[in-house]
Amino acid sequence: MTDELDLILVGPYPPPFGGISAHIARLARGARTDGFTVGVVDHFGRGAEEPLIIAELRRNPWRYWRVLRTVRARVVHYHHARWSTLMASAWALRGSPAATVATVHGRELEPFLESRVPGVGALTRWALRSFDVLVAVSAEVERSLQAAVGHPVAMIPAYLPDEDDPGELSAEADAFLRQGRSLVMAAYRLSVDGRGRTLYGLETAIESFASVGRDHRDLRLAIFLASPPRSRREAQLLKGLVASAGDPDLRGRIRVFHGEPLAPALGLATLFLRPTVTDGDAVSIREAMTAGLPVLASDVVARPEGVTVLPLECSRWAGEIDRALRSNGAAVTASGSAADPLAQLLDIYDRLRPRPAPGAERILVG
């Protein structure tokens, strides 16, 4: 890289498609439209197919540390995916001339902030405080971060609308969704919590579908999984979850799609399900609401107005799905603050490190 960039975004970039990766892709596009020069330091490794990507980290904290020590930008914006990469990024950016921003997209840091292991909580707080600005995607995340760092945290939802590039479904996914009415849910990967439950609530979705699907023979369940199973154990877990539907006909009406864009699927769906056991802003919920799709979501965090919020009890989910199907649902639209999340982020960048005046010569580095 020869020219200093206005903005470097650090985190997952699609594919695979997920809430954080969609946010980064849309933020990059919006910033470029506004005149920012942008590069992406990708959490994954995608080769040279995406010109915005200036480095590939392959999920490796050591690569985070090595790359971020040498990037040149007015602003570096880290997007939280895991504790180890947050620590590596904070350490690498110490003393950097760039202004730094970190967006925390979920509540995964809370166990580290509350850890009884000596030094872990203090180290996590130090890493968070090392960024010039902290951004939380929900009120719950904002409260936990503010308690940890002791100063105000910006609360900006992660959902950035984007009608220009919704993506395209495979022929298989498109055909499946057009065969009848469909429940759609999205999961980033097959993560499980300490009780062995999938974090995205696949058990709740499948059991509820199986209960309702016996009476609604045209109903299908489409599970959009951003990252395919990473091990034989995960593959077996997924196979067992689908098999738990029991009846062969019901199992045949469940399909798992890997790495497909969610946005075009929402236009073909009947209901969107978000039965997660933990959550951040849940970009997919706002995406579904923007598409006019009714949403059922777990009550683990506050949800946008218009979402039907339920406890994680399959009987409640099945009953609500049945009611929605019989009433044909009701179109909804995304609600929330009138503030523009993209404009808020771009304003933060310019407040931290104002851009050169039009026509000013850019700084040459390296």
What's the confidence (pLDDT) of residue 47? 54
What's the confidence (pLDDT) of residue 46? 63
Domain 171-326, CATH class in plain words:
alpha beta
Domains 5-157+339-352 and 171-326 in one fold: yes
For residue 56, CA distances in Å to 5, 15, 67, 133, 296 come to 17, 13, 9, 24, 36
What's the confidence (pLDDT) of residue 362? 45
Q: From the first residue on, what is the mean pLDDT of each consecutive set of 10 residues in the chain (366 residues)?
A: 82 84 92 95 77 91 95 94 93 94 92 94 96 92 91 90 76 95 92 87 96 95 91 93 94 94 91 91 86 92 90 95 82 57 95 74 39
Task: For residue 227, report the phi and psi dihedrals to the nearest 5 degrees.
Answer: -110, 125
What's the confidence (pLDDT) of residue 48? 53
| Domain ranges across the chain | 5-157+339-352, 171-326
What's the confidence (pLDDT) of residue 203? 96
Give the CATH H-level superfamily of domain 5-157+339-352: Glycogen Phosphorylase B; (3.40.50.2000)
